Amino acid sequence: MNIAIGNDHAAVELKNHIKKYLEEKGHCVIDLGDNGTARLDYPVYAKKVADAVVTGQSDLGVLICGTGIGMSLAANKVPGIRAAVCSEPYSARLTRQHNNANIIAFGARVVGPAMAEMIVDEFLNAEFEGGRHQRRIDMITAIEQGNM
């Protein structure tokens, strides 16, 4: 699976850990993040990952900043993106199963490496259930397109 990953200055170490973890599992990781410690504007990196997902360059995305919140807010402004902040595995699984999320976000100041691995695993291994959930995804798309 192709996975785009992006981060800001607060998440360099955790991004590199997750990138290596995913590569060891056989995934192709497209690193669109930063490797420096100087403060930078996280929306730039959120958009890079979101664009990679909506254009099909990557199947899914991972965003990591201090809390995951800012990155998810910025990514969700890109039409077609459903990014969710998850600080534990259960929500990461359900956001794929019920919301068909295509980007997971979490915070380097919130979760450690082991928890981040579990979050990513649950997100990547879950599949959208469709059914009753598709109607709600269609409603989200209608909102996004200004039709609701």
**Catalytic site residue from 9, 17, 65, 86:** 65
Task: Count CA within 13 A, CB hemisphere, residue 131.
Answer: 6
Angle between helical axes of 89-97 and 113-125 (0-180°, round to 10): 20
User: Residue 68 has what DSSP assignment?
Assistant: S
Is residue 98 annotated as part of the catalytic site, yes or no? yes
Is residue 17 annotated as part of the catalytic site, yes or no? no
106 in Cβ contact with 64 (< 8 Å): yes
The 10 Å Cβ neighbour count of residue 123 is 25
In one-letter notation, the amino acid at residue 37 is T
- Residues with catalytic annotation? 65, 98
